[in-house]
């Protein structure tokens, strides 16, 4: 039974999700239900101002229905028809949609990071390909895939000015980033700066102390200890351990933000670039 609703461009996407979930092998379906373990209510507003809800019951049975959930949903996601389509097609990043207010969430925000598990299942559904890009809707936990950045050359010794600070594990990360930038060509530095165009201030907390590092990806393309001379575009506050986990890939930036482990001041949109920037600047050697 179709869950498409006339007047809503998002309808075919939900049809795709429904087909994907229902045609999964039982073992795989159980695995997805175990991973998601939640009831998702997604409310879409179309160009005429009308609202339509769809429910993804991913707790017990694993089904997609039209209308609001019969029981209290674990999470309610509100967005526009156009925004949902842009998320599904990969034109809009889930994190950016959330941070810019195009996507609003009520309830268990951590469940938003699990939605991609189900949407990925829609890829294999035998339905028109128009909705196959639904896997890109991370709402906002899993941002749409970005092009793989060009690798930074292997880290080389810092040219001058150590950024090592005793008592902080994060020192190693910033030292290696500094060394990587020092070994990069002028063209590579310009390319990195062009992608970010921002000055990041990191306030890292450890053992009752706060240490600041500045990652300038706008003017000097450098890493230094202390606050920047000019007002930074974004200030990120995080613990020493969580920053190491973030840089190593053990911790997802969006999960850290939603879980309160990462706090942001300034241009919130820049936070959506953090994971990509750390991946690009992370040295090839193991941390």
Domain that holds residue 19: 11-136
Q: What is the mean pLDDT of the chain?
A: 77
In the structure, what pLDDT confidence band is assigned to residue 84 with cuts at 50, 70 and 90? Answer: confident
Q: Which range scores top for mean pLDDT: 87-91, 116-120, 187-191?
A: 187-191
* Residues ≥6 apart with Cβ < 8 Å to 17: 56, 64, 118, 119, 121, 122, 125, 131, 134
Q: What percent of the chain has pLDDT over 70?
A: 77
Say which residue, 77 or 156, is predicted with more confidence.
77
Say which residue, 186 or 167, is predicted with more confidence.
167
Residue 202: which CATH number? 3.30.1050.10
Whether residues 106 and 216 fall in one domain: no
Whether residues 220 and 264 fall in one domain: yes
CB-count burial class (<10 Å; 0-12, 13-18, 19+) for 93 = buried
In a domain, 165, yes or no: no
User: Per-residue pLDDT for 54 more than 90?
Assistant: yes
Q: What is the pLDDT of residue 103?
A: 83
Whether residues 85 and 15 fall in one domain: yes
Whether residues 25 and 127 fall in one domain: yes
- Per-residue model confidence as pLDDT tens digits over 168-225: 999 988 888 887 787 778 888 888 888 788 899 999 999 889 999 999 988 888 999 9
Q: How many domains does the chain divide into?
A: 2
CA angle 17-99-78, nearest 5°? 45
- Per-residue model confidence as pLDDT tens digits over 273-283: 776 777 667 54
Query: Alpha helices, DSSP H only, in the chain?
Result: 11-22, 26-36, 81-89, 94-99, 115-121, 170-183, 186-196, 240-248, 253-258, 274-281
């Amino acid at each position: 039974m179709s869950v498409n609703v006339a007047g809503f461009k998002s309808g075919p996407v939900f049809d795709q999700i429904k087909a994907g979930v229902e045609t999964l092998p039982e073992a795989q379906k159980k695995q997805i239900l175990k991973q998601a373990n939640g009831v998702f209510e997604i409310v879409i507003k179309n160009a005429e101002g009308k609202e339509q809800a769809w429910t993804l019951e991913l707790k017990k049975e694993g089904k997609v229905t039209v209308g609001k959930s019969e029981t209290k949903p674990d999470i309610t996601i509100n967005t526009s028809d156009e925004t949902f389509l842009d998320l599904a097609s990969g034109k809009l990043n889930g994190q950016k949609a959330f941070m810019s207010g195009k996507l609003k969430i009520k309830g268990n925000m951590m469940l938003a990071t699990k939605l991609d598990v189900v949407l990925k299942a829609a890829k294999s559904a035998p339905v028109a390909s128009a909705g196959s890009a639904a896997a890109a809707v991370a709402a906002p936990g899993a941002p749409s895939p970005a092009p793989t950045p060009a690798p930074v050359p292997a880290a080389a010794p810092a040219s001058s000015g150590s950024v090592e600070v005793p008592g902080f594990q994060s020192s190693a990360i910033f030292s290696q980033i500094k060394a990587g930038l020092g070994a990069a060509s002028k063209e590579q530095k310009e390319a990195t700066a062009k992608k970010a165009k921002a000055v990041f201030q990191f306030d890292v907390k450890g053992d009752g102390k706060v240490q600041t590092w500045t990652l300038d990806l706008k003017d000097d393309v450098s890493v230094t200890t202390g606050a920047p001379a000019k007002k930074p575009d974004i200030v990120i506050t995080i613990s020493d351990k969580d920053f190491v986990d973030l840089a190593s890939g053990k911790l997802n930036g969006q999960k850290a933000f939603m879980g309160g482990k990462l706090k942001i001041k300034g241009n919130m949109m820049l936070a959506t670039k953090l994971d990509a920037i750390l991946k690009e600047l992370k040295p090839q050697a193991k941390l």
